[in-house]
Amino acid sequence: MRTADIRTRFLDFFAERGHTVVPSAPLPTPDPTLLFVNAGMVPFKPYLTGEVAPPWPRATSVQKCVRTLDIEEVGKTTRHGSFFQMNGNFSFGDYFKEEAITFAWDLSTRSVADGGYGLDPAKIWVTVHHSDDESRGLWRRVADLPDERIVARGDEDNFWSMGVPGPCGPCSELYYDRGPALGRAGGPAVDEDRYMEFWNLVFMQYERGEGTGKTGYPILGELPRRNIDTGMGLERMATLLQGVDNLYEIDETRPVLDRAAELAGVRYGADAAQDVRLRVVADHVRTALMLLADGTAPGNEGRGYVLRRILRRAVRSMRQLGHGDPALADLLAVARDRMAPSYPEVADAYARIADQAQGEEDAFRATLKQGTTVLDTAVTRVKADGGRQLPGAKAFLLHDTYGFPIDLTLEMAAEQGVEVDREGFTALMREQRERARADARARKSGSAIDTSALRAVLDEHGPTDWRAWDTLATDSRVLALMGPAGPVPLARAGEIVTAVLDRTPFYAESGGQDSDAGRLSGASLEADVLDVQRPLPGLVAHQIRVTAGELAVGGRVHAAVDPEWRLGARQAHSGTHVLHAALREILGPTALQSGSYNRPGYLRLDFPWRGGLSATVRSEVEEAANRALRRDLPVGVRWMTLPEAKELGALALFDETYGERVRVVEIGGAWSRELCGGTHVEHASQVGVVALTAESSVGAGMRRLEAAVGVEGFGYLARERDLVARIAEQVQAPRAELPDRVAALLDRLKAADRENERLRQSARAARAAELAGQAVEVAGAYVATATTDGDAGAARALAVEVRGRLRAERPGVAAVTLSGAKPVLAVAVNEAARTAGLSASALVKRLLGGRGGGSDEVAQGGGADRERLAAAVAGLPGVVREELGA
């Protein structure tokens, strides 16, 4: 049975039993504790924890998941995969243990002809928590399982919680006996390779308290509503039903592995080390396909870094298999054909996916070439010095400068028999992250919101009555105030607090749109609204600064958005939609927005594209955007179901989570149609103008456009006009002739620079000949010293020039110091001097007391004391005599 058919059969089974079929959420998740969805229950977490009322009593889904904690184990064992699909059925206070156990047993053992999976009931084992006598009894009654195939296990294996206070409960797992060829008899407690887990039923019935680990917390009592969360591994069920040994050999993965083997000219199963690399390629290519399809782009941080690491591990594994040519596009096409029956979007977006992957592969191949040279040189030096450990600073240099992930450095160093100072590398990375965090805190000082303190407010008062789409002002009541240390009863003038209102007209930052600005006012109160966020689903929190009077919990206030700010925000957000549509009009559908940010007067938009946009293309994009504004395209909002929106062709942001009904914003109908919760103008002409101000790279295969809009856009164009006018006046040319006139001036400057350099070289050559003639003979060697002006480069160039004028058959040393600013010494020695044992680097370090460095041929260093430097250079002949042993 194909994996896609297993998936469909699961959803159909539960749909027939009253479950709402919920589409898979995108892999990038808005959950701040996760980079990607890593379990089937993640999209349902707000309903399971009670933060949000569930829209249905029971649901089912097949959720895409990515886990990368065990990425180093991928391929080494046949149990780890970075991408997997989790079939799940969920009950939100509806049915509980008996129905969940009945559903799982029925679907697993029902015949294929009747819509089941046809597993042999005699080969199924289950585990239950040792305290869960109810589940043990249900397995006996529902499935007629004997006691020896119902295994009791402890908290580590059969008790579930999210690791924080909240819902928890026992779980029951289903295992299938794959036969004696795969391990020992005795059930899952003895061998979990032979007995493969394929389904986990979680019974959420208790509330847990504070504590660490899987057992270090108290059980506070029963939940008011008991929930069911189950997860059946789709790949594991495919492994069982397709009669293969592991997840790498199922129909969605094995074709990628076979194509990799074909490209590399190897055979799977012939060599253990090659098999590991083939499994890495098969897993990582499929994972990369799904991440790219869901809008993740390779980058240096967060999700982008995970994707970059996965792609690079696949590329390097192919190189280790002996295939040095580009391979990702070929392999991704195989994965696309296998995944498209379940996820048509991978085929629809394949042109973009392949382009991004190829860009990353090209960049990494260049990086690999550069970084490998640096690493090989460093390893050779470590071994030459008798060491066995690569310094952490060198590993950090490879990571920070050459884009080498630490795992790649570890792997390549280990292949050459050298360890890496992981602690030193980690310390440098920690320092870098702390600097970044400090910068971020400085930029966003005081805006952090304590979500745990606000949860009680949400539980007591319910969701905020949010009116940002309808009005600019509301009369509101203050439900809670939060200071730095927690809840406070009131805030006085000068204090900054977080305020929760019963209703608000303020837009909370989301979907790329900055939050509104405005004021709260009362009988004697004045307060500025600095920031607005949604720290919890349904709850809006305002960061405010009290400027006069006092703000107290329970008080009445008038909340008013700054109308100019809101107008600018609407212009910027609508301008972002317009620019996105214009970009796709000019570049094609693969130029799909992967990130955006807009605030009054400014917008930026990130999109996948290889190479920079030419001035002509930028001009065409800008013209297409402003043409839409001149046409005054209507802006409309429609509500519909998510499937209806997709059928209509509405574009969705990949990292947003959508409910059953979605808000579709249209500009000119189908010309721009996107899912969006932001505020917008009513007609395109109200945007005013879109003026592109910058285009840049934000990572391999990713570009960024920035633009000024509205009044700021007109201001930008006016400043550009004034700048052009000033330049035209200075070069005394009409504006139309400016490009040619400026080009001519640049040509003249370049010609003058070339002539000046020629004169400098001639002067340096003449001086070098004179200095070489004045060299003193020391123990059969010639030593020349001189002083020059300029910078360190000038001193180095003159030293090299003098060295070239000394007699080649005799050892020659040239030393040059600067007469100007900071004292600098440059030393160059010829080949005869190196043969005699002289080193430029050693001479510099000796003269400068250990400072400076370079190669044996040329080296330089500096110091703060000019007189000491002059004395050191005066002693150069004696140093040369000692080095030569004379």
Write the DSSP string, 348-416: HTHHHHHHHHHHHHHHHHHHHHHHHHHHHHHHHHHHHTT--EE-HHHHHHHHHHH---HHHHHHHHHHT
Alpha-carbon gap, residue 873 to 868, rounded angstroms: 9
Alpha-carbon gap, residue 592 to 588, rounded angstroms: 9
- Cross-strand partners of 90: 59, 229
Most distant CA atoms of the chain, gap in Å: 107
Alpha-carbon gap, residue 815 to 588, rounded angstroms: 61
We report the CATH number of the domain holding residue 471 as 2.40.30.130
Element (H, E) at 706: strand 702-709
User: Helix, strand or coil for residue 97?
Assistant: helix
Q: Is residue 846 part of a domain?
A: yes
Do residues 876 and 833 touch, judged by C-beta distance below 8 A? no
Nearest to 175 by CA among 236, 103, 110, 249: 236
How far from 438 is each of 300, 330, 426, 496, CA to CA, in Å? 19, 43, 18, 20
Do residues 49 and 41 touch, judged by C-beta distance below 8 A? no
Q: Is residue 749 part of a domain?
A: no
Measure the N-to-C terminal CA separation of the chain; round to a whole number of Å.
Answer: 86
Do residues 585 and 624 touch, judged by C-beta distance below 8 A? yes
Alpha-carbon gap, residue 244 to 250, rounded angstroms: 7
Q: Is residue 163 part of a domain?
A: yes
Do residues 675 and 662 touch, judged by C-beta distance below 8 A? yes
Q: Is residue 432 part of a domain?
A: no
Alpha-carbon gap, residue 370 to 408, rounded angstroms: 14
User: C-alpha dihedral over 479, 456, 40, 642, to 10 degrees?
Assistant: -20
- Mean pLDDT along residues 148-164: 89
Alpha-carbon gap, residue 85 to 62, rounded angstroms: 6
Query: pLDDT at position 654, please?
Result: 56
**Residue recorded with tokens 């504006």:** 735
We report the CATH number of the domain holding residue 225 as 3.30.930.10
Query: pLDDT at position 393, please?
Result: 87
The tens digit of pLDDT for each residue in 845-856 reads: 888 876 777 788
- Give the count of beta carbons closer than 10 Å to the beta carbon of residue 194: 20
Q: Has residue 808 got a pLDDT over 80?
A: yes
How far from 446 is each of 441, 490, 521, 544, 552, CA to CA, in Å? 8, 18, 22, 10, 20
Alpha-carbon gap, residue 3 to 7, rounded angstroms: 6
Q: Has residue 803 got a pLDDT over 50?
A: yes
Q: Is residue 455 part of a domain?
A: yes
Tokens coding 712: 């700021």
Residue type, position 685, single letter: S
DSSP letter at 671?
A: G
Do residues 816 and 785 touch, judged by C-beta distance below 8 A? yes
We report the CATH number of the domain holding residue 638 as 3.30.980.10
User: Which residues make Cβ contacts (< 8 Å) with residue 738, sequence separation at least 6?
Assistant: 724, 727, 728, 731
Query: pLDDT at position 352, please?
Result: 87
Do residues 552 and 490 touch, judged by C-beta distance below 8 A? yes
Question: What value, to the nearest 5°, has the Cα angle with vertex 222 and ends 221 and 228?
Answer: 140
User: Helix, strand or coil for residue 883?
Assistant: helix
CA 352 to chain centre: 18
Do residues 310 and 287 touch, judged by C-beta distance below 8 A? yes
Q: Which of 672, 700, 726 is the endpoint of a domain?
A: 726
Residue 15 structural domain: 3-239
- Cross-strand partners of 620: none
Tokens coding 681: 């103008």
On whether both 214 and 293 belong to a single domain, the answer is: no
Do residues 289 and 352 touch, judged by C-beta distance below 8 A? no
Q: Please state whether beta strands 503-504 and 465-466 pair in parallel, antiparallel, or not at all (unpaired).
A: parallel
The tens digit of pLDDT for each residue in 354-404 reads: 988 988 898 888 877 778 888 888 888 888 888 888 988 888 888 777 767
Nearest to 621 by CA among 686, 677, 575: 575
Alpha-carbon gap, residue 498 to 534, rounded angstroms: 12
The tens digit of pLDDT for each residue in 261-318 reads: 999 999 999 998 899 999 999 999 999 999 999 888 887 778 888 898 899 889 989 9
Tokens coding 93: 């206070």
Residue type, position 348, single letter: D
The tens digit of pLDDT for each residue in 407-464 reads: 778 877 887 888 998 888 888 877 776 665 555 444 444 445 566 778 888 888 999 9
On whether both 313 and 335 belong to a single domain, the answer is: yes
On whether both 127 and 170 belong to a single domain, the answer is: yes
Query: pLDDT at position 440, please?
Result: 44
Q: Is residue 742 part of a domain?
A: no
Tokens coding 676: 């969006």
Do residues 368 and 318 touch, judged by C-beta distance below 8 A? no
The tens digit of pLDDT for each residue in 734-761 reads: 888 888 888 888 888 998 888 888 888 8
Alpha-carbon gap, residue 44 to 605, rounded angstroms: 30
- Cross-strand partners of 74: 77
Alpha-carbon gap, residue 582 to 691, rounded angstroms: 13
Tokens coding 640: 């519909």
How far from 622 is each of 15, 690, 693, 729, CA to CA, in Å? 48, 7, 10, 28
On whether both 229 and 260 belong to a single domain, the answer is: no
Q: Is residue 733 part of a domain?
A: no
Q: Phi-psi bin for 27: left (phi > 0), alpha (psi -120 to 50), beta?
A: alpha
The tens digit of pLDDT for each residue in 333-347 reads: 999 999 999 999 899
On whether both 668 and 801 belong to a single domain, the answer is: no
On whether both 96 and 230 belong to a single domain, the answer is: yes
List the single range of 366-370, 448-452, 486-490, 726-730 with lowest mean pLDDT: 448-452
Question: What value, to the nearest 5°, has the Cα angle with vertex 748 and ends 746 and 753?
Answer: 95
User: Which residues make Cβ contacts (< 8 Å) with residue 452, sequence separation at least 6?
Assistant: none
Nearest to 713 by CA among 600, 796, 590: 600
On whether both 166 and 27 belong to a single domain, the answer is: yes
Q: Is residue 430 part of a domain?
A: no
On whether both 175 and 310 belong to a single domain, the answer is: no
Nearest to 803 by CA among 771, 780, 835: 771
On whether both 582 and 520 belong to a single domain, the answer is: no
The rounded mean pLDDT for the chain is: 88
Alpha-carbon gap, residue 298 to 315, rounded angstroms: 14
Nearest to 540 by CA among 431, 467, 623: 467
Q: Which of 679, 705, 726 is the endpoint of a domain?
A: 726
Judge whether 577 is annotated as a binding position.
Answer: yes
User: Which residues make Cβ contacts (< 8 Å) with residue 801, sequence separation at least 6?
Assistant: 764, 765, 767, 768
On whether both 297 and 202 belong to a single domain, the answer is: no
**Residue recorded with tokens 């003639």:** 773
Structural domains of the chain, count = 5
User: Which residues make Cβ contacts (< 8 Å) with residue 413, sequence separation at least 6?
Assistant: 375, 379, 390, 419, 420
List the single range of 142-146, 502-506, 817-821 with lowest mean pLDDT: 817-821
On whether both 534 and 676 belong to a single domain, the answer is: no
Q: Has residue 865 got a pLDDT over 80?
A: no
- Give the count of beta carbons closer than 10 Å to the beta carbon of residue 310: 25
How far from 162 is each of 169, 332, 594, CA to CA, in Å? 10, 35, 30
List the single range of 20-34, 167-181, 318-332, 602-616 with lowest mean pLDDT: 20-34
Q: Which of 521, 538, 561 is the endpoint of a domain?
A: 561
Query: pLDDT at position 450, please?
Result: 62
Alpha-carbon gap, residue 846 to 267, rounded angstroms: 59
Taking the CA of residue 93 as centre, how many other CA atoms within 13 Å lie in the half-sphere pointing to its CB?
13
Tokens coding 395: 């590993």
Query: pLDDT at position 643, please?
Result: 82
Element (H, E) at 478: strand 473-483
Q: Has residue 80 got a pLDDT over 80?
A: no
On whether both 619 and 488 belong to a single domain, the answer is: no
Judge whether 19 is annotated as a binding position.
Answer: no
Alpha-carbon gap, residue 246 to 240, rounded angstroms: 9
User: C-alpha dihedral over 603, 606, 609, 613, to 10 degrees?
Assistant: 20
Identify the top-confidence range among 469-473, 510-514, 782-786. Answer: 469-473
Alpha-carbon gap, residue 866 to 600, rounded angstroms: 56
